[in-house]
Chains A and B, each alone.
Chain A
Amino acid sequence: MKNIKFLIFGILFGIILSKTEVVSWYRIYEMFKFQSFHMYGVIGSAVTIGIILMQLFKRGIVKDYLGNQINIKEKKSGFIRTLIGGTIFGLGWALAGACPGPMFVLIGHGAVSILIVLLGAIIGAFFYGLLSKKLPN
Chain B
Amino acid sequence: MEIILQPWPWYVGGPLIALILFLMFYFGKAFGVSTNLETFCTIGGAGKFSDYFKTDWKARKWSLIFVVGIIIGGFISSHYLMNSQVIDLNPETVSDLANIGFANAGETYLPQEIFATESIFTLKGFAILIGAGILIGFGARYSGGCTSGHSITGISSLQLPSLLATIGFFIGGIIMAWFIIPLLFERVIIY
Contacts and interface: CB of A to CB of B under 8 A. Distances in A.
Contacts, number: 510
A117 to B, nearest CB: 4
A6 B50 contact: no
Instruction: Bin the interface of chain B by size.
Output: 35 or more
Contacts of A15: 73-74, 76-77, 81
Interface in B78-121: 78, 81-82, 87, 89-90, 92-93, 96-97, 105-106, 109-111, 114-117, 119-120
Contacts of B93: 26, 29-30, 33, 35-36
Contact of B135 (A35, A46, A105, A124): A124
B155 A5 contact: no
A10 B61 contact: no
Contacts of B158: 51, 54
B134 A121 contact: yes
A77 B53 contact: no
A110 B156 CA distance: 32
A58 B157 CA distance: 9
Contacts of A135: 142
A22 B12 CA distance: 12
Shortest 4 CB-CB contacts between residues of A and residues of B: A10-B69, A14-B73, A120-B133, A86-B168
Interface of B: 4, 7-18, 20-30, 33-34, 36-38, 40-41, 44, 46, 49-50, 52-53, 61-63, 65-78, 81-82, 87, 89-90, 92-93, 96-97, 105-106, 109-111, 114-117, 119-120, 125-126, 128-162, 164-178, 180-181
Interface of A: 3-33, 35-51, 53-54, 57-58, 62, 64-66, 68, 70, 72-79, 81-97, 99-101, 103-114, 116-130, 132-133, 135
